[in-house]
Amino acid sequence: MGFTKGKGQRESGAVFIWLTGAGLAASLVMIVGIVVLVATRGLVVFWPHELVELTLKDGKKYVVDEISREKIPPSPESPTPGERLQVRLGNRDLYGLDFRWIPQSEIASRSVPPDAVLVERQEYGPFQGFLAGIERADGKNVGPDDPGRFAILHELVKSARARAAAIRKIEQGAIGGVSYRLEKIRVASRELERKDPTKGPATQAKIGFYEKQIAQLQAEYETLRGNAEALAAENEKDKVTLADGNGTAKTSPVSTIVRFFRPNQLGFFGKLRTYLSRLWEFISGQPRESNTEGGVFPAIFGTVMMVILMSAAVMPFGVIAALYLREYARQGALVRTVRIAVNNLAGVPSIVFGVFGLGFFVYLTGGAIDQLFYSARLPDPTFKTGGILWASLTLALLTVPVVIVATEESLAAVPRGAREGSYALGATKWQTISRVVLPAALPGILTGLILAMARGAGEVAPLMITGVVKLAPELPFDGNFPFFHLERKFMHLGFQIYDVGFQSPNVEAAKPMVYITALLLLVVVVALNLTAILVRERLRRKLRSATF
Amino acid sequence: METMAPSSPEGIATRRPETGVPGQAHFGAGAPDSAAAATGRIVMDVQHLNLFYGEKQALYDISIAFPEKKVTALIGPSGCGKSTLLRCLNRMNDIIDGVRIEGKVLFDGEDIFAPRVDVTELRKRFGMVFQKSNPFPKSIYENVIYGPRIHGVRDKATLDEACERSLRDAALWDEVKDRLDESGLSLSGGQMQRLCIARAIAVRPEVVLMDEPCSALDPIATSKIEELIFDLKKDYTIIIVTHNMQQAARVSEFTAFFMLGRMAEHDRTKKIFTNPGQKVTEDYITGRFG
């Protein structure tokens, strides 16, 4: 009565405030939960762990990295509950397996040897053990007890890595360029022969010219090859001998070592340096060991390039469609139907888009392009096979409803007064749209693009059949004209997660890579979105107050 | 309201001012010549205009003439059709679906509804100011020269000159001359409306149409705009829709009073406000309704 409280809870709405708050809290918890899980698991992947020497009751010794511990429930064979330890053995070339469960009852003793060394190698994963000696090319061999042996090995690894980098540069840069040109000339000459099967004098002359060029390039190729081989031979000369806990020795060239360190001797900053070095290799390096080690740079590159290509395709497409729907089409049953259909497209499973992309873009469009422009290379397909262009276009198709809906909304939100002001000055419809309506709607259109990018960057299924591969030999962008090679297959972080996590033979080794790759994908998506958001804010500020 | 409904079947719009005091100047379609004789050249002449929104008729047989370089105020209660009439004059009703118009509007003697009329060309000869100021999301400079620009003027000097002249005419130049490249949306309400006026007169129109230009402004901004209207009528024919009776009395030479889609009375402003020919006009002006 009067001003006194006492209305029911339902009328006051308090219940609904709590309900809406709880709804928001629940979604926040889920989002934060997944980010925290991925971040905590992902960020610790490269932190160096202590190496422990375990002596088992049968006398065998292993230098291991303790991963986890779990209780063994009592069973008929062993009635007392025990514990078992999951360890990384490393040394896959010696033991055949990387990870192993060891029952606590089998362990006789545990120690932390200060000189235990972890060697990351090009092949067979890490070696965990001790440095047993170095054979140097100049004969100045180093024994297992030499106090300077780690420093010497460090220098040797450094120069071997430098040579390896030089070899890679020759192989991928110079030799890649030469083979690219060779291929082009071969195709051109084949094209010529196809056009003029009788081989008239003009054709003959041209073919002769081509052959000369080919010979020249071949010679260039041989020289480069020779240089690379000389460097490779040089790299075989220094050898290192490593021994595991039992003293089994393994000798291999220093050049097989990627990085080595003594984790038990590292202080915090030493570990941090190792961590950063591994993280940098992950971000900037090439993958090794079927993607379970090394870097994911090609995948980052592929993801970013694909999202940019997709945006370039989806923006004009979606905006033009929305412009017609909102500004030009007569609003009626037909337009309403089209609008509903467009909205429902967003609900079509993405793999269906993938299948459509494969059929329409790859086989039909790609096939036609090959027939028209690349017939000399047939039957080898150029565009009639998955590639970054087709994958991007498929994703553009998948995300176009988002852009259309967002653009329509923002066009509808442009005040009527602005349009009328323009018409009243004698502007035509197109002048009004292009000079007043579109600039005012641009921030809203960019919101649509941001949503589309977020959706597209995380999509994997349609890519798997339109151009993503586990390991792409070349990036879709390089120094060879025309620089962008849109027909090439590419690597993608989302597919990398699936591939490493679920298709890898070495599941335990792959697990941490899944987390860090997922984290990286998140970071890439956030970075792309932030860029778009910054552009949008700039535009908004311009529209509101600042200079235009 | 009921008592004020017209009793004659033709409606009140057909009742001419001449039914009032004899010897007064005549207005409207029936007497363009006498109006011209008394007030100067007739720029726009509306003849028997009927307008329908779909099935609903909004204007009934409107006939009114607008003399050159004079201010004509259109007053009347909300929904009486005065804005609709104003929007007929430069065919702004074209962009609304389902509008049907009968009758003629002569502009310099030509019917603006004739099929061969290019609407955008027609609108270029008008400047229009709206109730809610509507600067474009562009700089002040770009706002003012929007008209000349879309009409194909490229020359920077011409555009600069048009910008300065229009802003001076709109009494805004001194306030914005140092920040022409700031957004038009960064101005105050009154400044925005004057910017819109500057934009409207940048194309050197023949007629300026104002649709309640001060209804969203405070008294100070309103008085500025009124002063501006006073200055502008030296060069332009102005037709202004207003809800503010005092404003109509202050700024206009002629006033037309509208009721329920019909023109009830059209005469010199002085006469309308001192000695209206219609009872309904008097009731409205003295605030007995509306």
* H helix or E strand, kind and range, residue A503: none
- Going across the sheet that includes B207-211, the strands are B126-129, B207-211, B237-241, B71-75, B254-259, B262-268
* Closest among B138, B76, B84, B91 to B276, alpha carbons compared: B76
Strand, coil or helix: A240:
strand
Give the SS3 label for residue B282: helix
- The residue type found at A88 is R
- In chain B, DSSP assigns E strands to 42-53, 56-67, 71-75, 99-107, 110-111, 126-129, 207-211, 237-241, 254-259, 262-268
In the structure, what pLDDT confidence band is assigned to residue A2 with cuts at 50, 70 and 90?
Answer: low
Residues near A213 by Cβ (< 8 Å), separated by ≥ 6?
A185
Residue B120 sits in the same domain as residue B242:
yes
A29, part of any domain:
no
Residue B235 lies in a domain: yes
Backbone region of residue B230 per phi and psi (left: phi > 0; alpha: psi in -120 to 50; beta: other values): alpha
Q: Each residue of A285-328: pLDDT tens digit? A: 888 877 778 888 999 999 999 999 999 999 999 999 999 999 88
Angle at A261 between CA A260 and CA A263, to 5 degrees: 140
Cα A515–Cα A521–Cα A522 angle in degrees, nearest 5: 90
**Is residue A213 a contact partner of residue A135, using CB atoms and an 8 Å limit?**
no
Which structural domain, as residue segments, surrounds residue B271?
Answer: 2-125+205-285
Chain A residues within 8 angstroms (CB to CB) of chain B: 415, 417-428, 431, 435-436, 439-440, 542-548
Radius of gyration of chain A (CA): 31
Q: Is residue A124 part of a domain?
A: no
Would you place residue B254 in the very low, low, confident or very high pLDDT band (cuts 50, 70, 90)? Answer: very high
Q: Higher pLDDT residue, A399 or A82? A: A399
CB contact under 8 A, A425 and B124: yes
> In the prediction, which pLDDT does A187 show?
80
Q: Is B92 in contact with A424 (Cβ distance < 8 A)?
A: yes
- pLDDT band of residue A468 (cuts 50, 70, 90) is confident
Cβ within 8 Å, pair A423-B92: yes
Mean of pLDDT over chain A: 86
Give the gap in angstroms from C-alpha B93 to the nearest C-alpha of chain A. 10
- Can you give the pLDDT at residue A7? 59
Q: How many CB atoms are located within 10 Å of the residue A248 CB?
A: 13
Of A420, A425, A544, the CB nearest to B183: A544
- Within a domain: residue A148? no
Q: Taking CB atoms and an 8 Å cutoff, what residues of chain A touch B92?
A: 420, 423-424
Q: How many domains, in total, are found in chain B? A: 2
> With 50 as the cut, is the pLDDT of residue B286 above it?
yes
- Identify the domain boundary among B150, B170, B204: B204
Dist. CA A141–CA A152, nearest whole Å: 10
The verdict on B112 and B155 lying in the same domain is: no
Q: How far is B184 from chain A (nearest CA, A)?
A: 8
Amino acid at A438: L
Last residue of a domain, one of B170, B188, B204: B204
Instruction: Give the tokens for residue A374.
Output: 């690349």
- Asked if residue B224 and residue B117 are part of one domain, the reply reads yes
Q: Residue B231 is which amino acid?
A: D
What per-residue confidence (pLDDT) applies to B5? Answer: 39
pLDDT for A24 equals: 96
Angle subtended by helix axes B189-201 and B156-169, to nearest 10? 130
The burial class, CB within 10 Å (0-12 / 13-18 / 19+), for A323 is: buried
- Which residue, of A74, A93, A115, is where some domain finishes? A115
Contact B136 A419 (CB under 8 A): no
Q: Which residues of A touch B95 (CB under 8 A)?
A: 419-420, 423
* In a domain? residue B197: yes
Q: Do B185 and A419 touch (CB under 8 A)?
A: no
Query: What pTM was estimated for this model as a whole?
Result: 0.80
Query: Last residue of some domain: B204, B235, B250?
Result: B204
Does residue B264 sit within a domain? yes
Higher pLDDT, B129 or A192: B129
CB-CB neighbors (< 8 A) of A424 in chain B: 90, 92, 123, 126-128, 130, 200, 209
Specify if A292 maps to a domain.
no
Residue found under tokens 């220094």:
A238
Query: Are B198 and B220 contained in the same domain?
Result: no
| Contact (CB, 8 A) for B284 and B77 | yes
Q: How many structural domains is chain A composed of?
A: 2
CA distance B92 to B241: 15
Which of A140-149, A261-270, A370-379, B23-32 has the weakest average pLDDT? B23-32
- ipTM of the complex as predicted: 0.82
Chain B residue numbers with beta carbons less than 8 Å from the beta carbon of A439 are: 137-138
Q: Is the dihedral of CA A163, A167, A168, A174 positive or negative?
A: positive
What is the percentage of chain A residues whose pLDDT exceeds 90? 21
Boundary-marking domain end, from A75, A90, A115: A115
- Spatial distance between the Cα atoms of B235 and B252, rounded to a whole number of angstroms: 15
Residue B276 and residue B269: Cα distance in Å, rounded? 9
Query: Across residues B100-116, what is the average pLDDT?
Result: 88
Is B136's CB within 8 Å of A421's CB? Answer: yes
Among candidate residues A115, A134, A164, the one where a domain is terminated: A115
Q: Identify the CA nearest to A389 among candidates A315, A478, A305.
A: A305
Q: Kindly state the DSSP code that residue B111 receives in the 8-state scheme.
A: E
Residue A535 sits in a domain of what CATH number?
1.10.3720.10
User: With contact defined as beta carbons under 8 Å apart, do B131 and B216 qualify?
Assistant: yes
Tell me the shortest Cα–Cα distance from B251 to chain A, in angstroms. 23
CATH of the domain at B96: 3.40.50.300
Q: What is the pLDDT of residues A10-21, one digit of tens each?
A: 667 788 889 999
Residue of A328, A445, A548 to mutate for B, most B C-beta atoms under 10 A: A548
Structural domain includes residue B30: yes
Q: What per-residue confidence (pLDDT) applies to B9?
A: 37
| pLDDT per residue as tens digits for the range B147-192 | 999 888 889 999 999 999 999 888 888 888 898 888 888 888 888 9
Do B101 and B197 lie in one domain? The reply is no
- Can you tell me the mean pLDDT for A92-105? 86
Decide if pLDDT at B3 tops 60: no
Q: How far apart are CA B22 and CA A367, in angstroms?
A: 89
Amino acid at A526: V
Asked, for residue A19, whether it belongs to a domain, the answer is no
Q: Are residues B75 and B161 in the same domain?
A: no
pLDDT class of B39 with cuts at 50, 70, 90: low
- B186 with A545: Cβ contact below 8 A: yes
Cα angle: A397, vertex A403, A409; to 5 degrees = 150
Residues B81 and B223 in one domain: yes
Same domain, B66 and B111: yes
State the pairing for strand pair B56-67/B42-53.
antiparallel
Name the packing angle between helices A438-457 and A297-323 (round to 10°). 140
- pLDDT tens figures, A274-283: 999 999 988 8
Query: Are residue B235 and residue B168 in the same domain, yes or no?
Result: no
Query: Which are the contacts of A478, defined by CB distance < 8 A and separation ≥ 6?
Result: A176, A485
Question: Which chain A residues are closer than 8 Å to B180 by Cβ?
Answer: none
Question: Which residues from chain B sit within 8 angstroms of residue A422, using beta carbons?
Answer: 136, 146
| Of A424, A428, A439, Cβ closest to residue B137 | A439
d(CA B178, CA B161): 15
pLDDT at A4: 65
Helix pair angle (A297-323, A388-412), 10° resolution: 40
Give the closest-approach CA distance of B143 to chain A in angstroms: 10
In a domain, B130, yes or no: no
Residue of chain B with shortest Cα separation from A432: B150
Of A421, A427, A543, the CB nearest to B196: A421
Domain that holds residue A110: 52-115
Write out the two tokens for B160: 């600069």
Q: Do the domain assignments include residue B18?
A: yes
Q: In sequence order, which residues have a C-beta less than 8 Å from that of residue A367 and are 6 or more positions away?
A: A383, A384
Tokens of B3: 């008592």
Which residues in chain B have Cβ-Cβ distances shorter than 8 Å to A436? 136-137
CA distance B191 to chain A (A): 14
Chain A partners within 8 Å of B203 (Cβ): 425-426
Give the pLDDT mean for A320-344.
Answer: 90
What pLDDT shows up at residue B31? Answer: 41
Q: Do B128 and A546 touch (CB under 8 A)?
A: no
Q: CB distance B121–A422 less than 8 Å?
A: no
User: Who has greater pLDDT, A469 or A290?
Assistant: A469
Residues B44 and B104 in one domain: yes
Determine, yes or no, domain membership for A84. Answer: yes
Chain A residue with CA closest to B185: the answer is A544
Which among B128, B182, B186 has the least Cβ separation from residue A424?
B128
Residue A242 included in any domain = no
Tokens of A284: 């900037």
CA distance A28 to A366: 44
Q: A104 pLDDT exceeds 90?
A: no
Q: Does residue A386 sit in helix, strand or coil?
A: coil
Residue B179 belongs to some domain of the structure: yes
Asked if the peptide bond before residue A79 counts as cis, ω within 30 degrees of 0, the response is: no
Q: Are residues B24 and B70 in the same domain?
A: yes
End-to-end CA, chain A:
57
> Which is it for the CA torsion B179, B180, B183, B186, positive or negative?
positive
Compute and round to an integer the Cα radius of gyration of chain B.
19
Query: Which of A423, A436, A542 is closest, CB to CB, to B136?
Result: A436
pLDDT given for residue B7 in this prediction: 38
Same domain for B25 and B63 = yes
Give pLDDT tens digits for A195-217. 777 777 878 888 888 888 888 88
Is the bond preceding A482 in cis, omega lying within 30 degrees of 0? yes
Q: Which of A446, A343, A352 is nearest to A402 (CA)?
A: A343
Does residue B290 fall inside a structural domain?
no
Q: Is position A451 within any domain?
A: yes
Helix-, strand-, coil-residue percentages of chain B, each rounded to 5:
40, 25, 35
